[in-house]
Amino acid sequence: MKKNKPKYNQIIEAAVEVIAENGYHASQVSKIAKKAGVADGTIYLYFKNKEDILVSVFKEKMGQFIERIAESINQKQNADEKLLTLIQMHFSQLTGDHHLAIVTQLELRQSNSELRLKINDILKPYLSVIDDIIREGTKENVFRDELNIPLVRQMIFGTLDETVTNWVMKEQKYDLLEMAPEVHRLLTHGLSDK
Amino acid sequence: MKKNKPKYNQIIEAAVEVIAENGYHASQVSKIAKKAGVADGTIYLYFKNKEDILVSVFKEKMGQFIERIAESINQKQNADEKLLTLIQMHFSQLTGDHHLAIVTQLELRQSNSELRLKINDILKPYLSVIDDIIREGTKENVFRDELNIPLVRQMIFGTLDETVTNWVMKEQKYDLLEMAPEVHRLLTHGLSDK
Amino acid sequence: MKKNKPKYNQIIEAAVEVIAENGYHASQVSKIAKKAGVADGTIYLYFKNKEDILVSVFKEKMGQFIERIAESINQKQNADEKLLTLIQMHFSQLTGDHHLAIVTQLELRQSNSELRLKINDILKPYLSVIDDIIREGTKENVFRDELNIPLVRQMIFGTLDETVTNWVMKEQKYDLLEMAPEVHRLLTHGLSDK
Amino acid sequence: MKKNKPKYNQIIEAAVEVIAENGYHASQVSKIAKKAGVADGTIYLYFKNKEDILVSVFKEKMGQFIERIAESINQKQNADEKLLTLIQMHFSQLTGDHHLAIVTQLELRQSNSELRLKINDILKPYLSVIDDIIREGTKENVFRDELNIPLVRQMIFGTLDETVTNWVMKEQKYDLLEMAPEVHRLLTHGLSDK
DNA sequence: GATGAATGAGATTTCATTCAT
DNA sequence: TATGAATGAAATCTCATTCAT
């Protein structure tokens, strides 16, 4: 977060609101400017172009998102607890910010492939956090040895992402957070009865 | 697939190619018409509007996709084999049609919410197939009893979808199909070393 | 009216209906063909192009319109009675055919200048009838001597036309025909109290 | 006329010229913009859509038209002189602005019913001016007592309108203004010799 | 730094007309 | 004669971005 740039933050916050309320494609620069209380032209003093606003929104919000998750995880002692914490934090943060949930799960996906590549880059630190947990779990002999880390990470992230998206599309009508333990058990023990 | 409507199918096939090659937003109706070898106006004899082309593309292709998966599954005896077959068929079909893989994993997601709702409807039969497998596995005592079916379905679909998307974004440089057994094992047994 | 060309007349009648019901600009050739019960292409066996349909509609309908007025007038003995008759016939014929009234007063005026020139040509016989009455009235010393015939004709036609148009735009809610004597008196004696 | 909106007026004037020169249907927004010396998009900063340009043209021009007639009439002492003045002003203003004459008599009539309703609304003040003269003439015992005001108004307006339209269609080859006294005499005394 | 008026490229869709059958 | 599937030209309006003030 650029500090002491009040306009910068005003615009970021305005963008999240405008996108959540109007949808990605109906979020004109002029609408964001109006909501932020600045002139259209002012946007271009702080952002290179429209895409840069969107990337920055994601960067700022994801930055906080990941930072908080990382903090929480550091206080946990083993991989299993860390994984549960990650799931809980992932769910709780999106539960706590409805606008952000809509923007990340639905609206920002409507961007073109080029923009999505940039968004993927921003996600990388989060994916690293997941990878670290997997590696740690393996070292602790809590998780299996021969795990294919990228694949496991895709299962974890894919499951969380799909779960949140379904919850957003169902208009957030149920409690996402209380599903965390079950998701955790599914990821660690799978479907099998054994 | 509507039979004996050669123009209809020409346009569907052209749309997949054009979208895969140019991206969703650069896929003008005139480009699709040209690739299909028909006049722009002809498109509108077969489709209500541009969105209708896209929905139809997804409907036709997903229809085949799901049908083939369902057929393969029916030949398997138990839930575990069925799940593996579903994963293999999911991966092999997208491996076999690069254009379709790009369109479903990347391009069609750029559509607006209204169109995505229609796309979700089309996906429902696939999700039902997954649900059936879960229920069957539970009945056979291969899967656990207390499984939350929607959640398990979200894990399975989310994992497959994320895995395929990563593969497409890595430009399909590795063999997706050979990952099926590992994905299957992850889904059934989880990360745990037990 | 071309005789023994049933399709020709079907198309003319369909055109009047379609235009009255949908308005000039929403009257596509395909709609007229459908209402007439023929294929689109068949239209072009009987009419050169769309404009030709419209000109023909006006020609056929106006032909009858003028013919009937001329017949009625011939049975009258003097210019004053003839003028009254013309007014009555003008009003009664349009009162008796709502579709035609809408088409001539509102819809056909939306045509471009070129088409309106052709429509004006078709109106000429009607204007001649008016001119004849004026000349006869002058000869009979019922009307003034020094009358500028084109100007008088414009007053008569302009008054009738404006009166009918107002009636159509008021959705034909009052009795147009009963206004004929008053219109006649206004045209012959003017506003003056003398 | 909105003051201090130079672009607004430029566009209005350009629209009159373009419509007069090219006809209603061949008057693309881009042509009007070019003639006005602005970009296409600028049109939409001042007008809601194309129809709004046309309504505004008529509103601005008719506003002036009626205002000038009303001013001139106010300086006259009796209904008879007022009627003559109205006719003279009607003719002289259209004589003085050939483009406007073409636009009001020919081109604007090609608009669809919805637009014509708006145009009719704009005409209402003019029709009120006529009504006032009729009422005043009746009060002064210059005009007859029992006059049906709407009908008389339709005669007056219909006569003027038809006269001007004929003059425009004859390419304005004769002097319209010098016909005013004769039109006035026809309207007040009619055809009758008496 | 801040403004906001002006720019202008770009795409969907309609519908009169044709022509092979 | 009759059909109707196919054609393809053509125009409104939006909105990201600029730049003079």
Taking a C-beta distance cutoff of 8 angstroms, is the pair B149, B134 a contact? yes
Q: Which stretches of chain D score pLDDT less than 50? A: 1-3
Instruction: Residue window 52-71, chain C: list those with CB within 8 Å of chain D.
Output: none
In a domain, C3, yes or no: no
Give start and end residues of each alpha helix (H) in chain C. Answer: 6-22, 29-36, 40-46, 50-74, 79-95, 98-102, 113-139, 149-169, 180-189
Express each pLDDT in A8-47 by its tens digit: 999 999 999 999 999 988 999 999 999 999 999 999 999 9
Instruction: Say what the pLDDT of residue B3 is.
Output: 46
Instruction: Say what the pLDDT of residue A113 is.
Output: 75
In a domain, D45, yes or no: no
**At residue A55, what is the residue type?**
V
Is the shortest CB-to-strand distance from D169 to strand F under 7 Å?
no
Any idea of the CA torsion for A19, A24, B114, A87, to the nearest 10 degrees?
A: -70
Instruction: Say what the pLDDT of residue D4 is.
Output: 62
The mean pLDDT values, 10 residues at a time, for chain B of 194 residues are: 74 96 92 96 95 94 96 95 98 96 91 83 95 95 93 98 96 94 95 72
User: Which burial class, exposed, middle or buried, applies to A81 when counting CB atoms under 10 A from its CB (0-12, 13-18, 19+)?
Assistant: middle
Closest residue to B112, CB basis, from A110, A144, A160: A110
In a domain, B30, yes or no: no
Closest residue to B188, CB basis, from A24, A163, A191: A191
The boundaries of the domain holding residue B63 are 51-189
Taking a C-beta distance cutoff of 8 angstroms, is the pair A153, A131 a contact? yes
Instruction: Say what the pLDDT of residue D3 is.
Output: 46
User: Which burial class, exposed, middle or buried, applies to A174 when counting CB atoms under 10 A from its CB (0-12, 13-18, 19+)?
Assistant: exposed
In a domain, A70, yes or no: yes
CATH of the domain at B180: 1.10.357.10
Cα distances from C45 to residues C33, C48, D158, in angstroms, run 12, 8, 40
Mean pLDDT of A70-94: 97
Look at A186 and B161 and tell me if their CB atoms are within 8 Å.
no
- How distant is the Cα of C5 from the closest Cα of chain D, in angstroms? 32
In a domain, B167, yes or no: yes
Round to whole Å and give the CA distance between D154 and C102.
Answer: 18
Instruction: Say what the pLDDT of residue B168 is.
Output: 95
The one-character DSSP state at D191 is S
Round to whole Å and give the CA distance between A29 and A1.
Answer: 21
Taking a C-beta distance cutoff of 8 angstroms, is the pair B5, B56 a contact? no
Express each pLDDT in D131-181 by its tens digit: 999 999 999 999 998 899 999 999 999 999 999 999 999 988 999 999 999
Round to whole Å and give the CA distance between D191 and C134.
Answer: 9
Tokens 């009235």 appear where? Answer: C137
Q: Which stretches of chain C score pLDDT less than 70? A: 1-4, 193-194
Best CA proximity match to B140, nearest among B71, B67, B83: B83
Instruction: Say what the pLDDT of residue C91 is.
Output: 98
Best CA proximity match to C168, nearest among C85, C91, C84, C55: C91
User: Is chain D touching chain A, with at least 3 CB–CB pairs below 8 Å?
Assistant: no
Instruction: Say what the pLDDT of residue D2 is.
Output: 44
In a domain, B133, yes or no: yes
Chain C residues in contact with D109 (beta carbon < 8 A): 109-110
Domain count, chain D: 1
Best CA proximity match to D83, nearest among D164, D176, D183: D183
CA-based angle A124:A126:A132, to the nearest 5? 100
In a domain, A38, yes or no: no
Computed on alpha carbons and rounded to an integer, the radius of gyration of chain A in Å comes to: 18
Instruction: Say what the pLDDT of residue A141 is.
Output: 92
Look at C106 and D116 and tell me if their CB atoms are within 8 Å.
yes
Q: Which nucleotides of E are covered by protein (CB under 7 A)?
A: 1-20
Instruction: Say what the pLDDT of residue B2 is.
Output: 44
Neighbours of B124 (CB within 10 A): 10
